[in-house]
Amino acid sequence: MKDRPTEGLRYPFEKPPAEGAAVELADGVLWMRLPLPMKLDHVNVYALDDGDGWTVIDTGFATKRSRAIWESLMQGPLSGKPVRRVVVTHHHPDHIGLAGWFQTEHGAELVTTRTAWLTGRMLTLDAQDVPLPETLAFYRSAGMAPDVLAKRESERPFNFADVVAPMPLGFTRIADGESITMGGRTWDIYTGHGHAPEQATFWSRDDELVISADQILPSISPNIGVYATEPMADPIGEWLVSCERFAAVARDDHFVLGGHKLPFTGLPLRMFQLIDNHHGALRRLVAFLDTPQAAGDCFMPLFRRTIGDAEYGLALVEAVAHLSHLYQTGQITRARRGDDAWVYQRKD
């Protein structure tokens, strides 16, 4: 790893746009926000001026409120020309939520990676009234707290389609190493992994703008989780590989437009921090595993704070991800406990 960069993070625009309003970050690049009903209470979306229309980057959840905000944006700061294209950075619902609505209701073209489209489309069709047995088995193997597990067993699970509009057939694929023209600039497309598979980021060749999606965020570390879909995934390993790659091209003058929080400069330092945070977490976890522990027992060494109910699900999948990385890189062993939880222990 490179020496620690010295230039700090700076936020040239300290005030986020008000609901239904836009802030011009650069010539032809507008920043807007949509609300989320979670602890992380907003998602950033952007509109790029293509002359005869707009390219919109990400969309927010498919809720009545989000649709109303988009309608007022289209009659306000985006008026005068249509949204012709929606670029979706990754398949998470706060980003892909209204992509299908833009296609169906506004005639926009959807542009995204193949993995994001396939995953988004699959999850919108995969609606469940009761939790799947595989999901419950996965929770048990993670050592989910018994009271949380009992609640999950008895409730209708969260369904992707609850907050994502139906996705019609038809999208335009983008891939790593390609370029795209939008907002009067040519952007190199680099995909990253770990937070979501094949997440697209856009690096302007013509100025210092970077659209980083959730791959690179300031002030919060993107969630990295393992799920029942792929219990032996190693997203931490993939994340670290992606971070090293982005660190190698990061410049102090890059102006980074992420999916959450404020646009910032200081990308080399931020890449150093994102990498270092995970190495630190992995070190604390290995130190903690002198006795066998399940993922649900590892929150304190991993997050260094107590985890509330609202964060429990995200914390658990993140703990599984860190343990899985240590296990698959041969640093710890695992065995089944009587309650079916995997318990992990340091090799000595």
Identify which of residues 212 and 265 has a Cβ nearer to Zn ion in the complex: 212
| Chain centroid to CA 247 | 18
Residue from 198, 214, 238, 318 touching Zn ion (CB under 5 A): that is 214
**Residue 277 region by backbone torsions, left for phi larger than 0, else alpha for psi between -120 and 50, else beta:** alpha
Residue from 44, 48, 78, 94 touching Zn ion (CB under 5 A): that is 94
Burial of 25 (0-12, 13-18, 19+ CB in 10 A): middle
Stretch that binds Zn ion, among 16-24, 140-148, 210-218, 305-313 (CB under 5 A): 210-218
Provide the 3-class DSSP secondary structure of residue 277.
helix
Tokens for 97, please give them: 């939520």
- Give kind and range of the element (H or E) at residue 255: strand 255-258
Cβ atoms within 10 Å of 280's Cβ, excluding its own: 12
The contact mask relative to Zn ion for 159-198 (x = CB under 5 A, - = no) is: ----------------------------------------
Stretch that binds Zn ion, among 98-106, 150-158, 259-267, 281-289 (CB under 5 A): 259-267
Identify which of residues 41 and 207 has a Cβ nearer to Zn ion in the complex: 41
* Those residues with Cβ within 8 angstroms of residue 280's Cβ, 6 or more apart along the chain or in another chain: none
Stretch that binds Zn ion, among 184-192, 203-211, 242-250, 252-260 (CB under 5 A): 252-260
Identify which of residues 94 and 297 has a Cβ nearer to Zn ion in the complex: 94
Identify which of residues 58 and 234 has a Cβ nearer to Zn ion in the complex: 58
Identify which of residues 259 and 296 has a Cβ nearer to Zn ion in the complex: 259
263: contact with Zn ion by CB under 5 A: no
* Those residues with Cβ within 8 angstroms of residue 107's Cβ, 6 or more apart along the chain or in another chain: 82, 84
Q: Which residues bind Zn ion (CB under 5 A)?
A: 94, 214, 259
